[in-house]
Structure 1
Amino acid sequence: MDGKLLAYMIAALAGMAMAVQGSMNSALSKSIGLAKTTLIVHIVGAIGAALFVLFSKEKGSVLQGPWYYYLGGLIGVVIVYAVAFAMPKGGVAAATTAIVAAQLLTAGIIDRLGIFNLAKTPFSWQTILGAVLIIVGAWLVLKE
């Protein structure tokens, strides 16, 4: 199997998991509140990640990147909180639509500028058309 195809399939599975996770977090937040849900999700995730690292064969120090790369964990806290807040208000599909549209726009900027030391990827007319179609689709889904 082509490496890109496998990567896209794994990304699609991650997208499915994000919708399930957001729904589960929203349900949990109804019982224990948003702040506690965010904390519990990250504690359970940290335990899972620690086990993953423990059994992986990766070499090297954990502290090798610039300090600001480690802020992704704080961004994760904001994401979990915001998604758990948004999904019960507008529904899973509407919230996910807003998330994906915003992700695409942000990802396009990151690709174009090569932010975070990633390879620069120029925009093509297909990329721009795809982004426009996703924005129009998001507008249709979110329109009441």
Structure 2
Amino acid sequence: MVTGILLALLAGSLVSLQTVFNSKVNEKTGSWSTTTMVLFTGFIASFLISLLVEGKNTFSFQHMQPWYWVSGAIGVGVVFCLVQGMKLLGPTFAISIVLTSQLSFALLFDSMGWLGLEKIPFSWNQLLGVLVIVGGIVLFKFGGSKSNTAEKPRRALRSDS
């Protein structure tokens, strides 16, 4: 269980890091170019690592449901929407909403046993947990002072002054 928690924490930090990088790439090029670059470099990296780790089993796709093949297309939507969300909302607010949506849909899929998942009984505590997170996002975004420092333009630091 500890390993799973550590891997989940690492995944969360990597998603946030990737989102910042994607945003910076998007500043120099368009959203579709960013999405293409991100997914292409991800393909190259995962393909090479798969060959090193799994060898010829990389190409073993027996007993896979046909609809699982759309996963890559879903990834296009993920990257594109993240890049646009970051541009419109800023990194912290966008990621907060993404993670809350992810948690909510995971709860729905688990509770219903959809897409071949083992059905896990729904509990009101789980829903309450999601609502607490939503409340935290609302408090984060709209609570506090009236002047939002994130909206103010940032001055570039000058090394010659």
Percent of aligned pairs with the same residue?
29
Q: Does 1:13 align with 2:7?
A: no
User: What corresponds to 1:23 in structure 2?
Assistant: 20
- Partner of 1:114 in structure 2? 113
2:151 aligned residue: none
Structure having greater relative contact order (Cα 8 Å, sep ≥ 6): 1
| Structure whose CA Rg is larger | 2
1:97/1:141 contact within 8 Å kept: no
C-alpha distance in 2 between matches for 1:142 and 1:106: 22
Given residue 19 of structure 2, which amino acid in structure 1 is its aligned partner?
A: G
Letter in 1 for 2:50: V
Question: What is the Cα deviation at residue 138 of structure 1?
Answer: 2.2
Q: Which residue of 1 aligns with 2:125?
A: 126
Alignment of 1:7-86 (within 5 A): 7-57=4-54, 59=57, 61-86=60-85
- May I ask how many residue pairs the two structures share in their alignment? 141
Using the size of structure 2 for normalisation, the TM-score is 0.80
TM normalised by structure 1 equals 0.89
| Structure 2 residues not aligned, in runs of 5+ | 144-161
SS at structure 1 position matched to 2:54: coil
Give the letter for the 1:128 counterpart.
L
RMSD: 1.7
Gaps of 5+ in 1: none
Give the superposition deviation at 1:63. 4.9
